[in-house]
Chain A
Amino acid sequence: DAKTTQPTSMDCAEGRAANLPCNHSTISGNEYVYWYRQIHSQGPQYIIHGLKNNETNEMASLIITEDRKSSTLILPHATLRDTAVYYCIAPPAGGATNKLIFGTGTLLAVQP
């Protein structure tokens, strides 16, 4: 896995956009960036992934810099239910294993 670096914690006001940054300066050209989140006591939830282009789905948007050394996950209108630990992961491409290496992630606290 390419090493990823995320802030330990962030606050966001309810209804505002939450922008969660991730640095992955050692990422290789064919490694995707995945985002998962874990709401307290629940199983991790897949959010989105991308390679080079920006991606958007019903949950979030993913902005990847042109040099691919960093990315930002955007929750456009954060709600209290979005309070969770968010993990940015860049698993190795190819090979025989698909294991995910979870770091410490970012604890996003959405405030009312």
Chain B
Amino acid sequence: NAGVMQNPRHLVRRRGQEARLRCSPMKGHSHVYWYRQLPEEGLKFMVYLQKENIIDESGMPKERFSAEFPKEGPSILRIQQVVRGDSAAYFCASSPVIAGVGIADTQYFGPGTRLTVL
């Protein structure tokens, strides 16, 4: 069973360009989470999505960042007009549906995409 897949693993963009980060969850998982880790800092939650729905985007910057998880295909984290401060490792995690259980589902993380903005 393949784990969470992220691509690209490394992405270099110049200031003002767009960055698209993709995440394919584990088979059977319908919940996706994005986290960001700035250099020398901890992991910070960004957004939580289910298929075609954004459930919690409380950690997303107000501008330039968006996320989607379409019915078909991977989840996409999109950063428009990147700036140097966007340089970070972006991790995606997925979890299965546990119907009727009020606990936080175990999240399984991908290897991350390292974004460098020149």
Contacts and interface: CB of A to CB of B under 8 A. Distances in A.
A98 B42 contact: no
B33 interface: yes
Contact of A46 (B58, B59, B107, B110): B107
A49 interface: yes
Given A32-B104, A97-B55, A99-B48, A104 B42 contact: yes
Interface stretch (A17-25, A65-73, A75-83, A87-95): A87-95
B106 A46 contact: yes
Interface residues of A, number: 26
B56 to A, nearest CB: 4
Interface in A17-46: 30, 32, 34, 38, 41-46
B102 A101 contact: no
B91 A43 contact: yes
Instruction: Give the 9 A-B residue pairs with the shortest CB-CB distance, closest first.
Output: A94-B102, A91-B104, A43-B109, A97-B56, A99-B45, A102-B43, A98-B104, A44-B109, A43-B111
Interface of A: 30, 32, 34, 38, 41-46, 49, 91-105
12 contacts: A30-B102, A30-B103, A43-B93, A44-B43, A44-B91, A44-B93, A46-B107, A46-B109, A99-B33, A99-B59, A100-B104, A102-B42
